Structure 1
Amino acid sequence: MEYLKLGQTGLEVSKLCLGCMSFGDSSKGFHSGWLLDEAASQKIIKKALDVGINFFDTANSYAAGTSEEYLGRALKAFANRDEIVIATKIFFGDGHSDSPNTKGLSRKAIFNQVDASLKRLGIDYIDILYIHRWDYDTPIEETMAALNDLVRSGKVHYLGASAMYAWQFQKAQYVAEKNGWTRFSVMQNHYNMLYREDEREMIPFCQDMGVALVPYSPLAAGRIVRDWTADTARSKTDQIAHAKYDATEEQDRAIVARVAELAEQKGVSRAQIALAWLWQKGIHSPIVGVTKEKYLDDFMGAFDVILSADEVAYLDDLYQPHNIVGAL
């Protein structure tokens, strides 16, 4: 495993982050068709620790909060809390109530959601707290003030944002700086070889401001790394992935063919090509979600893959503009 400082923070994280959206009670949540139960989730988390991953990402909305519960119990059993970095997200709520005060980014909702996440995770503080989306119904000043108070209280150490427009992220950073509040240190955006819209504004802005880039869906829900006709439980039931990628299937298929071609030439896996591509684009720690331990062993080989400028250009050449997916 390789490690790096997360943007301009002093936090040191593995260059792979384990995403935990695939862990949780299958009777709950919007993606129950491919969730791993607690025993299977523990095996993946233990394997991640064994290969050197110290960075774990979840959210209060994943499987109605049971992802947080599974992750918290596994890390308590297998890891030293001081040695690991736990990130979670707020905005959508945990699905247990439809009340407007249990979701969103009002002061009340933020405090309630954070306390609930801390309880489910079984920890005293959250290393990185992300706002999962932009809240159009709450003044950003209220949100940033509440987040700053959480940092000052010690319940949260660093702040992150996810999946929004660059103007929104810039506005939040400006409000925080203007008032002497804690700014966001991390951006968790949607970015991979099949979806590169953030190269226009968000990624250059983050790189200019020293904000760490920790993208979700780095393998496009597996589409980059498997044969296009492959049938998996996730490919059949993941409606979110279908919404993200089905509309661009024709052009994406051609890009995936080039990934396969280059992987064969270099004698490596497609996943290793995709991860190496991300790191060479300046990404800090892509969030990888897995349902089998063997995938983590495969990912480790990506550290030895170096793509030439010509190879990166070959992979980039067929990309065409996409509709925005992720920002609401």
Structure 2
Amino acid sequence: MDYRTLGRSGCAVSTLTLGTMTFGSETDEAGSHAQLDAFVEAGGNLVDTADVYTSGISEEIIGRWLAQASPDVRDRVVLATKGRFPMGEDVNDVGLSRRHLERALEDSLRRLGVERIDLYQVHSWDPVTPLAETLDTLDGFVRAGKVRYVGLSNYTGWQVQKVMATSRERRLQAPVTLQPQYNLLTRELEWEVVPSCLDAGLGLLPWSPLAGGWLTGKYSQEQRPTGATRLGEDPERGMEAYDRRSSSQRTWDVVDALREVAEARGVPMAQVALAWLVDRPAVTSVILGARTLEQLSGNLAAAGLHLDEAEVNRLDSASDPGAGEYPYGELALQQRDRSLSAES
């Protein structure tokens, strides 16, 4: 397992993170504990959850595992959770207000059975709460010793820049990470979100690195999902999204390129997709979400796998989402022309 720091912090984390959104829903407690054991045994140390995952049950499962783990294991685990989304019916049981976040943090600490969270992330932008209120609250968590680092999740490029500027202006604890959706089929954040994070020194913690199973090779252009897949077992879960993605030729071009690289390497497609993502600019750690121990073990085998330049170029070319004409396409050409002129 390789390790990197959380953004510009000094905290080292594994380049593969255990995501726990399935805990308590698709994965029972025994299976969840087995995943946690296997992850730590493989050298992983960053465990990511959220209060909203199975309405708090994911955090409770992790808390019971931590309670029975050895002191050495508890000390090695870097624990991350999130707050923002509804956890009740009251009008104040949602958002990034001081009132909601204080309650959300205390509830997460209780469910996890810990005195402090290593990385506390705001789960999404809140258009209602003043940003200063949210950042003041997070800064207070750190000063009180209840949180070590703070992070963002699902923020756009301009939102990242606004957060960092406000943090500097008010001399508050600044976020060290951003957790976005990022994979070979979802690369549009490279237009502005990734540059914003590189400029701000934030480390990326990508979720959905396998695009909901698309990058494992389990879907075929000739046949709709059947059998032991999420869509095969529950067609109502997201067949509309499946049809939208499957109708794009780019999707199948990416799958074909991924299969070619994987077959040449002699490894599963999922491992190649993870290796490509781990080595993207600004990425600190990639979040693995698995229903079963077998799935997790297969993905953990990607640890230490690095693609060569030709393999990366093949995948980059197939997965290029295109930037259109303006603003991204035209401005990128202008920047490229200037870069070439400077080199010459």
After TM superposition, the score normalised by the length of structure 1 is: 0.89
In structure 1, what is the equivalent of residue 40 of structure 2?
49
Residues 50-65 of structure 1: pairs in structure 2 closer than 5 A: 50-65=41-56
Instruction: Check conservation: 2:160, 2:196, Cα contact below 8 A.
Output: no
The structure-2 alpha-carbon separation of the partners of 1:154 and 1:246, relative to structure 1 and needing over 3 Å to count, comes to farther
Aligned: 1:81 with 2:77: no
Supply the AA of the counterpart residue of 1:85. V
Q: Aligned match of 1:234 in 223, 230, 235?
A: 230
SS in structure 1 at match of 2:210: coil
Q: Unaligned stretches of 5+ in structure 1?
A: 27-34, 323-328
C-alpha deviation, 1:233, in angstroms: 4.5
C-alpha deviation, 1:259, in angstroms: 0.6
Q: Aligned match of 2:154 in 160, 163, 166?
A: 163
The structure-2 alpha-carbon separation of the partners of 1:307 and 1:63, relative to structure 1 and needing over 3 Å to count, comes to same
CA offsets 1:181-233 (integer angstroms, 9 cap, x no match): 00110010110001001101111221222211111111112210132145435
CA offsets 1:260-291 (integer angstroms, 9 cap, x no match): 12101111111110111012213211000112
C-alpha deviation, 1:146, in angstroms: 0.7
In structure 2, what is the equivalent of residue 193 of structure 1?
184
In structure 2, what is the equivalent of residue 260 of structure 1?
259
Residues 153-302 of structure 1: pairs in structure 2 closer than 5 A: 153-229=144-220, 231-236=227-232, 237=234, 246-249=243-246, 250=248, 251-282=250-281, 283-302=283-302
C-alpha deviation, 1:240, in angstroms: 7.5
Instruction: Check conservation: 2:179, 2:206, Cα contact below 8 A.
Output: yes
CA offsets 1:39-61 (integer angstroms, 9 cap, x no match): 11111111111111111001111
CA offsets 1:45-82 (integer angstroms, 9 cap, x no match): 11111111111001111111101101111122225322
Instruction: Check conservation: 2:289, 2:296, Cα contact below 8 A.
Output: no
C-alpha deviation, 1:244, in angstroms: 6.0
C-alpha deviation, 1:132, in angstroms: 0.5
SS in structure 1 at match of 2:118: strand
Q: Unaligned stretches of 5+ in structure 2?
A: 324-344
SS in structure 1 at match of 2:212: coil
User: Aligned partners of 2:9 and 2:22: how far apart in 1?
Assistant: 28
The structure-2 alpha-carbon separation of the partners of 1:16 and 1:241, relative to structure 1 and needing over 3 Å to count, comes to farther
Instruction: Check conservation: 1:44, 1:291, Cα contact below 8 A.
Output: no
User: Aligned partners of 1:302 and 1:67: how far apart in 2?
Assistant: 25
Supply the AA of the counterpart residue of 2:83. I
User: Aligned partners of 1:263 and 1:134: how far apart in 2?
Assistant: 37
Q: Aligned match of 1:141 in 128, 132, 138?
A: 132
In structure 2, what is the equivalent of residue 66 of structure 1?
57
Moved more, 202-211 or 155-164: 202-211
C-alpha deviation, 1:242, in angstroms: 5.6
The structure-2 alpha-carbon separation of the partners of 1:87 and 1:242, relative to structure 1 and needing over 3 Å to count, comes to farther
Aligned: 1:108 with 2:99: yes
Instruction: Check conservation: 1:69, 1:121, Cα contact below 8 A.
Output: yes
Identity of paired residues, percent? 37
In structure 2, what is the equivalent of residue 37 of structure 1?
28
In structure 2, what is the equivalent of residue 10 of structure 1?
10
C-alpha deviation, 1:238, in angstroms: 8.7
SS in structure 2 at match of 1:81: helix
Instruction: Check conservation: 1:103, 1:113, Cα contact below 8 A.
Output: no
Instruction: Check conservation: 1:162, 1:189, Cα contact below 8 A.
Output: yes
User: Aligned partners of 1:243 and 1:84: how far apart in 2?
Assistant: 38
Instruction: Check conservation: 1:72, 1:122, Cα contact below 8 A.
Output: yes
Larger radius of gyration: 2
Instruction: Check conservation: 2:161, 2:200, Cα contact below 8 A.
Output: no
Aligned pairs, how many? 311
SS in structure 2 at match of 1:195: coil
In structure 1, what is the equivalent of residue 336 of structure 2?
none
User: Aligned partners of 2:3 and 2:179: how far apart in 1?
Assistant: 18
Moved more, 185-194 or 267-276: 267-276
The structure-2 alpha-carbon separation of the partners of 1:204 and 1:118, relative to structure 1 and needing over 3 Å to count, comes to same
Residues 111-130 of structure 1: pairs in structure 2 closer than 5 A: 111-130=102-121
After TM superposition, the score normalised by the length of structure 2 is: 0.85
Instruction: Check conservation: 1:5, 1:13, Cα contact below 8 A.
Output: yes
Supply the AA of the counterpart residue of 1:48. F
Aligned: 1:91 with 2:84: yes
Supply the AA of the counterpart residue of 2:85. F
SS in structure 2 at match of 1:103: coil
